[in-house]
Copies of this chain bind each other. A is one copy, B any other.
Amino acid sequence: MIVDCAIYEDGKRRDGKVDLEHAYSERGRQNAFVWIGLYEPTAEEFESIKSEFELHPLAVEDAIHAHQRPKLEVFDDMVLLVLKPARYVDPTEVIELGELLVFLGHDYVITVRHGEASALQAVREELDSDPARMRGGPGAVLHAILDRVVDDYGPAIEGLEEDIDQVEAELFSPERSNPGERIYRLLREVLAFRRACAPLVDPVQKLAAGHFDQIDPATRDYFRDVNDHLIRARDQLDGMHDLLTSSLQANLAQVGIRQNEDMRRISAWVAIIAVPTAVAGIYGMNFEHMPELDWTYGYPAVLVAMLVICTSLYVYFRRAGWL
């Protein structure tokens, strides 16, 4: 589906709706470039774009089928960047990963979006209102998109961090929840997220080092800044991975300790009740000569004795922390 198609001249978006054919005819002009935005295009929808911009068939395949790893590839004079935008979905504690492909030539940008996690619309609007920045050409668009995608990692990571804080609190709380499953699921999200962001470090590093002449040298520092945030995200995810692995292990000990507490409590009660049972058994024996049985207050005395023993045991266990 074609989401948006626009011609930019001297950084300004030309007014009115532009269709593909029109865009093709205008892209040769000085200081002009075309930005075409697509959403999960079919092979048919992509056909005309492919032939107009002479895109490499492998790049086209990537654009249509998605499920690529994040990467930066150079095909002759075209650069293809594959990004994985991330969005934290709170109720399910899941990181939703989309896919975003950016084809970059000297006079065109083609963005292909898969999944819901990315918000290209906002980037487009921001850029439309900032002609100075758009004068930087396709490279400026690439930076804006990359910057947004990486910036959006921030809240996603914060979402995970909050979950981890909750899990930690749960882990050592006196209440007997079992955060094992939650820890494991967070671990899975962290691993998937890391795989979505870590492979970008190298490509963005190359963009910052100015390896590509599609990119304006003046934007080097900006790409370096993006890379910085990327490395920070990766390091935070690594730290989370370490923490979650350790908390799986800590959880084991907590489970063992709670088991211990339960067992002690149960056995304390069993011990308390075993004493009157034994005493009653003794006075239930049928010996001829059991003087206590004939005492007037034998029965209440024994009852009191039982009560005293049970209470003493209860107090003792209480003090020992078993009850």
Contacts and interface: CB of A to CB of B under 8 A. Distances in A.
Given A75-B221, A222-B58, A288-B298, A69 B235 contact: yes
Interface in A211-232: 221-222, 224-225, 228, 231-232
A121 interface: no
Interface string A256-292: 1111101110111111011111101111111111101
A201 interface: no
Interface in A145-200: 168, 171-172, 178, 180-181, 183-184, 187-188, 191-192, 195, 199
A111 interface: no
A123 interface: no
B293 A286 contact: yes
Interface stretch (A21-29, A87-95, A247-255): A247-255
Chain A interface mostly: helix
Nearest to A178: B257
Contacts of A235: 69, 195, 199
A289 B299 contact: yes
Contact of A278 (B222, B228, B242, B280): B280
A258 B56 CA distance: 56
Given A245-B246, A267-B270, A283-B285, 4 more contacts: A69-B228, A180-B257, A184-B247, A281-B284
Interface of A: 56, 58, 68-69, 71, 73, 75, 168, 171-172, 178, 180-181, 183-184, 187-188, 191-192, 195, 199, 221-222, 224-225, 228, 231-232, 235, 239, 242-243, 245-260, 262-264, 266-271, 273-278, 280-290, 292-299, 302-303, 306
Top 4 closest pairs, chain A to chain B, by CB: A280-B281, A283-B285, A266-B267, A255-B256
